[in-house]
Structure 1
């Protein structure tokens, strides 16, 4: 009796990992949604540029600011979509099953994840890139009012450069 109860409980515990499928499915849906939204934003930028250069844009519109701002925001959305995609693939491979199609594929192995640490590392790198793109977007709209603002700006760029250096160094030191 005890062996049957233990087996039942262990089976229940083992199969409870399948709840991870909810995170996989909704991360995938979120990723696809972000890819579509970012693509629609890029399409709007293209239409704005066409309108500007054909002379049908409203007066006073600075197309360069519109282009740069909106393209950077779209890149940010694409990167977040990639985070969700990596997260979905990683969770599926770690908790549900290996993806046979990926194993047979000759293409990129960027989505191949074997450990939780690999998943964390890949997510961290993409999240750092999202933060850098967001920082770049904020810098575009920043006004330097005092000399101290320029100092803070320089320090933040130095911090980003150091962060990228250590991230790059870390990824090449793990062979």
Structure 2
């Protein structure tokens, strides 16, 4: 008994000759339905490209505004807000790329061209939906942190209680990021 036969027997896999027409046709259609995720891959990648272009436009707009009015007193804050906004868009674009790569590799095929030199990029080391979800969640947390600090820069504190809330928020985010990185080690 060959290796393939042992595998088939162990997992109860039938030969095509042992299946009825309907069973074979249905399983074939069901298995090939996985290709619907190609739509998510294509549009996720296109969305990522759009976000990278929007982030680049945000930085370009910030540069233009910096050089068009160099004496503006609020300019440093506006530069930070523009750059942080662009980083936010880039990070969301990265989320979409990780999602696109991950579901392609999980449902369709490994990306052979990325493995051609024998080394595999960390972003392509996704073997389960949980691993994909974990990678996406980590980037989303970074997006939330960046968005939070972008809003902090545009906040105006009216009372000392506002500043205390801000300090508590920053501490909570720092603590969350610390535990997230500690879990990796």
Name the TM-score, length of structure 2 as normaliser: 0.83
Within the candidate set 152, 165, 168, 2:181 is matched to 168
Alignment of 1:6-155 (within 5 A): 6-53=23-70, 60=72, 62-105=74-117, 106=119, 108-155=121-168
CA deviation digits over 1:35-78, x for unaligned, max 9?
A: 1111111112222222234x7xxxx5632122111111000000
**Unmatched runs of 5 consecutive residues or more in structure 1:** none
* Aligned-partner SS, 1:110: helix
How many residues are aligned here? 167
* Aligned-partner SS, 1:121: helix
- Describe the shift of the 1:66–1:147 C-alpha distance in structure 2 as closer, same or farther (beyond 3 A): closer
- Describe the shift of the 1:51–1:107 C-alpha distance in structure 2 as closer, same or farther (beyond 3 A): farther
Could you tell me how far 1:96 is from its partner in structure 2? Answer: 0.8
Comparing 103-112 with 119-128, greater Cα deviation is found at: 103-112
Comparing 2-11 with 100-109, greater Cα deviation is found at: 100-109
Could you tell me how far 1:107 is from its partner in structure 2? Answer: 6.8
* Aligned-partner SS, 2:65: helix
**RMSD, aligned α-carbons:** 1.9
Name the TM-score, length of structure 1 as normaliser: 0.88
User: Larger Cα Rg: Structure 1 or Structure 2?
Assistant: 2
Within the candidate set 17, 20, 36, 1:3 is matched to 20
> Does the 8 Å contact 2:48/2:92 carry over to 1?
yes
- Describe the shift of the 1:26–1:160 C-alpha distance in structure 2 as closer, same or farther (beyond 3 A): same
Comparing 102-111 with 22-31, greater Cα deviation is found at: 102-111
In the other structure, the counterpart of 1:156 is 169
